Structure 1
Amino acid sequence: MPWQEWPVAVGTKPKGIVIAVHGLSGAASDFWFIGDKLPPQGYAVYAYDLRGQGKDPVKEARGDIGSAKQWIRDLETFHLLVRKRNPGVPIFWYGESLGSLICLHTAASRLNIRQDPVGIVLASPVAGLRVTVSGFRRFLLEAAATLSPRSRYSLGDLAGVDEKKIQVTSQTTHGAQMAVTEHHINSFTLRLLTEIGRLLDQNPDSAKRLRMPVLFLASPNDILSSPDQVQGLFGQVRSPKKRLLWYTRSYHLLLHDVQRAEVTEDLAQWLDKNGRTVKR
């Protein structure tokens, strides 16, 4: 899969590395802001394009995934490649939206590997869905996913809302944002959406298994998860080092909204604090 790197200054060794995992219909390039701001503070940033999203080299695979396990294996593989290139450097994961699910569940599966990653950041965490799907409707969707897994629907179709009215930043809607985004995907297969639903169902179990430092970066205005849902997932994390920060003037896309400088500064301070505790 394609990937990007924002390195520290030539001739210097990073004091830490952030592997960033983007969200649904996103791309590695979405992390340009922390890619600009973190390297001068000693943190290199790596990001890769998710399988099945808008930069997947296999165009017919965009909007589809065979199994969520592929996303988990991809993060595991990318982590090991970055680790090989940077021995002894603390590595953190930063997952945004769908990326937060991938980071959460992959980290929960690495419990036998101490301090690697050193910590994870769940930005705009998908802790649940504000728009609930009834048990019967979900049964129909899962049945349809079995019978016709590659049938495609837009997120607006499934939620019964106009995507042009979904606020993703304080100044833009989902429709407006995607109209100027080259890697936007108009529709997703039922099996991809079903796999995301299964990850959501497994959130509590994975959260309870986390022991590394965890940082939640969230907005009470997030269109996907309510404050109560985010607080609920945060409460299930058993790590002794966990923190939840709210950005009340922002919406879902924190790194593209009015408080992005504040988000990045809070992130850098958290990295400094938790990177210092690692034995190199």
Structure 2
Amino acid sequence: MDKTEHKATMKEERIRSGDGTELYCSQWIPAADTPVKGCALVLHGMADHAARFSSLAAALSEAGYAVYAYDQRGHGRTAGSDEAIGIIADSDGMDLLVEDARLMISKLREDFGAVPVFLIAHSMGSFVAQGFAQRYGDSISGMVLSGSNGSIGVMADLAKLVAKSEIKKHGRNRRSEKLNTLSFGSFNNSFRPNRTAFDWLSSVDAEVDKYVGDPWCGGVFTAGFFYDLADFLKRIHQKRNLEKVPANLPIALFSGDVDPVGGRKGAGKLYREYKKRGVADLSLKLYPNARHEILNEQNREEVEQDILGWISARSGSARRSGQ
């Protein structure tokens, strides 16, 4: 039999949300002669899009996992135009992203039946996943977070104040250089001398250049988005909400150890929050000298295999999730 017949297939679909928004979804499906072991939903980061996770999705699908990754609202082809990038909703945009993830998890279950379903989320997507776990953690069999962080404390309050001022002056949908600088302005400091504004993403110059040259990546987002993000980050790290995460939900944290978003400090803080919550199956792995996008680092294949190994180990005896 020709080797190519065993390759996973990739297709695209527009999935309509409850409010009518069409979410642009890429799908990697195991070959017809490969039993589907489980499913994974991938959530990308801010100023990012789903296609940038194609290498991980291909590796998972060739191992027998169906993978869906969609451009979240205000991103990529779901946004559809430069003017719409960074505009999520008129209010509570991050909560709407959580509901979109719930829709996609339901879609995976509808398409593939009673198999384990995992959530894999990066950066901003990992914050959406944290909120998802608090509301719908019983509906998945495990959660993998990369480039994530725990509570940012008073910085969330400061960001809300600045965003509120920006919204009052210019409206929710005005792009905010001030908030962009407040959020990301210091991230490159550890990697001087800087070649680009995004050196903090990866130590691989070619990967950074791909990001810089990608029209769907790296844009300045709106004041409304930053307000909703800061408010959401404050809420999901409150004790009463952390306690809503199921203690029997397996959670893996992966991060570059010099990642200015996660790293030893940020990912370590989130690990301690979940540990205090009593999450029984909890792990943290830091990759030496790796920056924010560990799936675009020099050791990308190692990271992909670690994620696949973690999911595979929990597929055979997956906790029963909502079906």
* 1:144 equivalent in alignment to 2:166: yes
Secondary structure in 1 matching 2:32: coil
User: How do 1:53-202 residues align onto structure 2 when only pairs under 5 Å count?
Assistant: 53-59=75-81, 60-66=83-89, 67-111=93-137, 114=138, 116-127=139-150, 133=155, 138-147=160-169, 148-154=171-177, 156-158=180-182, 159-160=184-185, 164=197, 166-172=199-205, 176-202=209-235
Instruction: Give the % identical residues.
Output: 21
Structure-1-length-normalised TM-score: 0.88
Greater Cα offset, 153-162 or 72-81: 153-162
Matched-pair contact (CA < 8 Å) for 1:16–1:275: yes
Partner of 2:266: 229
**How many aligned residue pairs are there?**
276
User: How do 1:201-216 residues align onto structure 2 when only pairs under 5 Å count?
Assistant: 201-205=234-238, 206-211=241-246, 212-216=249-253
How many Å separate the matches in 1 of 2:158 and 2:49?
A: 34
Give 1:254 shift.
0.9
Alignment CA distance shift 1:62-1:259 (3 Å): same
Give 1:228 shift.
2.1
Greater Cα offset, 116-125 or 166-175: 166-175
Matched-pair contact (CA < 8 Å) for 1:54–1:185: no
How many Å separate the matches in 1 of 2:255 and 2:156?
A: 26
Structure 1: runs of 5+ lacking an equivalent: none
Alignment CA distance shift 1:83-1:229 (3 Å): same
Matched-pair contact (CA < 8 Å) for 1:128–1:226: no
Which amino acid is 2:272 matched to?
Answer: G
CA RMSD of superposed structures (Å):
2.6
Structure-2-length-normalised TM-score: 0.77
Alignment CA distance shift 1:264-1:178 (3 Å): closer
How many Å separate the matches in 2 of 1:56 and 1:40?
A: 26
* 1:27 equivalent in alignment to 2:49: yes
Instruction: Write the deviation string for residues 213-236 of structure 1: whole angstroms up to 9, x where unpaired.
Output: 001011121122352232111111
Instruction: Write the deviation string for residues 35-77 of structure 1: whole angstroms up to 9, x where unpaired.
Output: 2212222222110110011222442321112221210111111
Alignment CA distance shift 1:140-1:255 (3 Å): closer
Give 1:8 shift.
0.9
How many Å separate the matches in 1 of 2:302 and 2:198?
A: 26
